[in-house]
Structure 1
Amino acid sequence: MKSLSIQQILDNIENEVVFEAYSEDESFKIKIDEYIPYVCAAIHDGSHMRDDVRDKCLLSNYERWYEEDPHTAEFVETFPVLIQGCDSRFEYDLNRAPATAVYEEAWGKQVWKDPLTSSQKQVSLAKHTAFYEVVEALIKKLETKFKSCLVYDIHSYNWKRWDRPVPVFNIGAEKVDKERYGSYVESWRDELAQIELENIHNYSAINDVFYGRGYLLEFVTNRFKNTLVLATEVSKIYCDELTGESFPEIINQIKEGFKTAILNHAFQFVKTETTYKVGSKQVNILHNELESDLIKIDKQLFQLVNDFELLSVINPINLEFEKKKFLASKYTYEPQFKYNPLNINPFEFKRKLSNIKVEKINDISIQNMYVDTINSYFDKVDLLANLGTNKFLYNSLRYFGEPSKKDIENANFILYCPEFRIDNHGDYTEEEVINLFQKATDDYGFQFDIEVSDDIASKALVINSKRKVVIKKGVKFDKRFTNGLIEHEIGVHMVTTMNALDQPLKIFSVGLPVNTLTQEGLAILSEYYTDSINHNRLRELGLRVMAVHMLTSGKSFNETFMLLMEEYKMLPEDAFYLTTRVYRGGGFTKDALYLKGFKTILNYVDQGRSLDNLLIGKTSVEYIDTIDELVERKMINKPKYYTKIFKKHLENPEINPILHYIFNGIKD
């Protein structure tokens, strides 16, 4: 990051230049992504001391750390305007007036073994003066531009000092104009009180342990009549006060909590008190450009995993040969599947994943999405590294999970539904199916290859990285089912693949964690809306769950195959393909997610939620709030392509009453 002189910083503010820089002596850091009427400050975040005063300091690193406010800048780094102190408060305290800013004694301890010279004190006080020159220029610019301004002055404190229960968040409002700003103080406390912290009771208060008597609040309040400063203390629940050890999970929870709290609170203040045009949603007061570190991290992740295609690797290359041997043996032969060799070194791949500096992403919601995605690839690598072994099943369970008791009950409910008949209108030839798939891709305006292959266990498959649709050779396609299959593969899987390619962030091509649940849920929904789900397809969804349940219960390939034939009356060839789907690789539990994913999407639609942003790429419902925010902030694009049957259903929401009745019976 560049360093600027104080005059250069002041000139940038005067000319409304967007910038991020250290002061020339690196005593503080300022970031202005956008000129907007709220500011976050973390003036005690730093711990640096220049050499000539450090040599005289009696206090250890830990003793200084104990009274500093570590991580407070990190709590609010998401926001567009941030100013943070980089020097230790023991060199000079930015929250004290100049006359008392350089300590002789602090919290009962002598600070210096030899008194500081006059010139040493002057150097420290010059830094103090320069910092407040910048603060004054910044607030003046924002007040002039927007009439009013809000400052979140973030600190931390050592809660174990107290012999009584103390708040997690304390607002010091003694010097705040209560008549004018009292409601904003109260609403800020209410927002802080809603922050959820795992295993920590969040009690938030006003003027409990601190009263807001610091110099930053005093300085700004005395000079600017239309700026509210909220001096906010966070108890050091996010670290061990006795050792200095930090707790990353709690730090992230506080970051997430502050993001929501400040967005909600600042939005109301900005909308009511300022002339800034805020739009209709809270995220409109966040910066809407992709930060450079995010772009670098996204590119690094994409380059690493772009050719990583799980399904294309775990499909047996000798599927048809093994099927013939199995059927010829009267179901006694145990298939010996073979797979293409891995094109990655698992250890090297994971090392490169570990080197991605995801912590450099400032926005906590986006950071969490990338952290989870990278972690999911650790699981996928472990899955592939154990292809064909007993460990494959363990890793599949870790990534995809296994059917719950409710999943099994739902599968049984579907399997024992009375048979219903839907006219299939005959079958298509293989050539006709290829032509229909080609026409569908042409209608959408896609450029995709269509291939016929023996080496897939399903009737059709989209390979995203190769932009290819693979159709299983020799399989009969009844006409009604084919309509749904085209919507499933082209209208959903290919649509989301192509929309992902249109995104500035490639994580949506990479795929969010366990996106199978959402993607297959959408795909089954497209079949539902086309009224192409016949009784056999309905049973197939239930049988996939039951086959995975048999796998995880310890049944062999042959035992599961026989159960599917004898108990569920499947034809031998169909039972073989379904068993293969589940047992390939050593035990692949993905198929249990189709029915669960479909119910998840049905619930999502029933809540009145739009499907649009789920179509921007390989998304997951779990991250829809972050995706919606990114779209609203114009950091990613709305979907370029839209599943046609979804649009048609919005215009004419007719549903097959039999299917509607059945699917309503599936439990959440």
Structure 2
Amino acid sequence: MIVNKRIVKTDPEGSPEGWTIIELGDSPVVGTAIHSGTDVGRATRSLMRLADADRRREEDPFTEHLIADFPTQIVVHRSRFEVDLNRAREHAVYLSPEQSWGLEVWRQRPSEDMVKASLSFHDAYYGALKHVLAGIERRYGGFVLVDVHSYNHRRDGPKADPASPDLAPDINIGTFSMDRKRWAPVVDPFIDALSRRRLDGRNLDVRSNVAFQGRGEQTRFVHAGFPRTGCAIAVEFKKIFMDEWSGVPDWGAIGQLRAALASTVPVLEQALRGVA
């Protein structure tokens, strides 16, 4: 396995920013931020009706910073509104408002060729992910993938009350597609480690399957392809680290959450060694 090699897949239209960055480290723990990006290609942007601010509100900005201390990182800069890597291939391009939280994404429907190009990126991503994970599996016998996302809790507007904390934990752990009994020795210490961390003087509220259940494509892909050796944990951070309406980050909160997540890496490595 190659350690500390950075692989960049660039925009085929010539954008200077990479679509996907994969950094390989010396550990069986992988952090991913596949919705961190907001980039869309020029051709796609020309057909979009959705305002940038509305699009970015439904993305997961700054999540790449939350995994910045993970030994192996996978960050995607391409917007989910061009192709959503956390949905099954047949639903990965939003073509109707029902697929995109009621938002009218398109001024003009993308052509069949544009949709095929987006889906080819979906295919390429999962091909690359399988290759990376298979390499880690060969070296360590297994791996943990921490699938980081974020979610909105002020959907009624910037001045309205936020969602009730009863239904919106600081961190929601999704376990829908995993064999929960098999991976309990890994997931439970992970939750415990995060719950003991603090944000602005208080303990983080970390609960499982409250706001989300972890039904995304990436965790499903891992558990289907590596049923005995791969544990994928869907981690949804409430957007307490930014203003979800203005898009302004709170770098202090980001730093604290980054440290909290980094503290789980040795916990996960140790727990994984104990799983037969």
TM-score using structure 1 length: 0.38
**Do structure 1's residue 79 and structure 2's residue 70 form an aligned pair?**
yes
Task: Supply the distance in 1 between the matched residues of 2:130 and 2:247 (Cα, whole angstroms).
Answer: 34
Partner of 2:45: 54
Partner of 1:600: none
Q: 1:229 aligns with which of 228, 232, 235?
A: 232
| Misfit runs of 4+, over 4 Å | none
**1:184 CA displacement:** 2.2
Task: Supply the distance in 2 between the matched residues of 1:211 and 1:116 (Cα, whole angstroms).
Answer: 31
Provide closer, same or farther for how the CA distance between residues 247 and 200 of structure 1 changes in structure 2, counting only shifts above 3 A: farther
| Structure 2: unaligned runs, 5 residues or longer | 12-17, 156-161
Partner of 1:176: 178
Conserved? CA contact 1:20–1:33, under 8 Å: no
Provide closer, same or farther for how the CA distance between residues 203 and 273 of structure 1 changes in structure 2, counting only shifts above 3 A: same
Counterpart of 2:213, as a letter, is: Y
Task: Supply the distance in 1 between the matched residues of 2:272 and 2:182 (Cα, whole angstroms).
Answer: 15
Partner of 1:267: 269
Counterpart of 1:72, as a letter, is: T
Partner of 2:59: 68
Q: Deviations over 1:313-358 (max 9, x none)?
A: xxxxxxxxxxxxxxxxxxxxxxxxxxxxxxxxxxxxxxxxxxxxxx
Q: Share of identical aligned residues, percent?
A: 30
Where do 1:167-316 residues align within 5 Å? 167-198=169-200, 202-225=204-227, 226-263=229-266, 265-273=267-275
Conserved? CA contact 2:144–2:232, under 8 Å: yes
Q: Tell which has more relative contact order, 1 or 2 (C-alpha 8 A, sep 6+).
A: 2
**Do structure 1's residue 21 and structure 2's residue 7 form an aligned pair?**
yes
Counterpart of 2:170, as a letter, is: V
**1:199 CA displacement:** 5.4
Task: Supply the distance in 1 between the matched residues of 2:112 and 2:8 (Cα, whole angstroms).
Answer: 26
Where do 1:382-421 residues align within 5 Å? none
**1:248 CA displacement:** 0.9
Structure having the larger proportion of residues in helix: 1
Q: Deviations over 1:530-565 (max 9, x none)?
A: xxxxxxxxxxxxxxxxxxxxxxxxxxxxxxxxxxxx
Provide closer, same or farther for how the CA distance between residues 182 and 33 of structure 1 changes in structure 2, counting only shifts above 3 A: closer
**1:271 CA displacement:** 3.0
Task: Supply the distance in 2 between the matched residues of 1:33 and 1:201 (Cα, whole angstroms).
Answer: 30
Task: Supply the distance in 2 between the matched residues of 1:17 and 1:201 (Cα, whole angstroms).
Answer: 35
Q: Deviations over 1:394-424 (max 9, x none)?
A: xxxxxxxxxxxxxxxxxxxxxxxxxxxxxxx
**1:90 CA displacement:** 0.3
SS in structure 1 of the partner of residue 125 of structure 2: helix
Provide closer, same or farther for how the CA distance between residues 227 and 51 of structure 1 changes in structure 2, counting only shifts above 3 A: same
Task: Supply the distance in 2 between the matched residues of 1:79 and 1:218 (Cα, whole angstroms).
Answer: 22
**1:239 CA displacement:** 0.5
Counterpart of 1:108, as a letter, is: G
Where do 1:75-154 residues align within 5 Å? 75-104=66-95, 105=97, 106-154=100-148
Counterpart of 1:24, as a letter, is: T
C-alpha RMSD of the superposition: 1.6
TM-score using structure 2 length: 0.89
**Do structure 1's residue 33 and structure 2's residue 22 form an aligned pair?**
no
Task: Supply the distance in 2 between the matched residues of 1:140 and 1:163 (Cα, whole angstroms).
Answer: 40
Partner of 2:149: 155
SS in structure 2 of the partner of residue 256 of structure 1: helix
Counterpart of 1:249, as a letter, is: G
Conserved? CA contact 1:27–1:127, under 8 Å: no
Conserved? CA contact 1:172–1:210, under 8 Å: yes
What count of residue pairs does the alignment treat as equivalent? 258
Conserved? CA contact 2:196–2:203, under 8 Å: no
Provide closer, same or farther for how the CA distance between residues 163 and 255 of structure 1 changes in structure 2, counting only shifts above 3 A: closer
Conserved? CA contact 1:195–1:261, under 8 Å: no
Conserved? CA contact 1:95–1:215, under 8 Å: yes
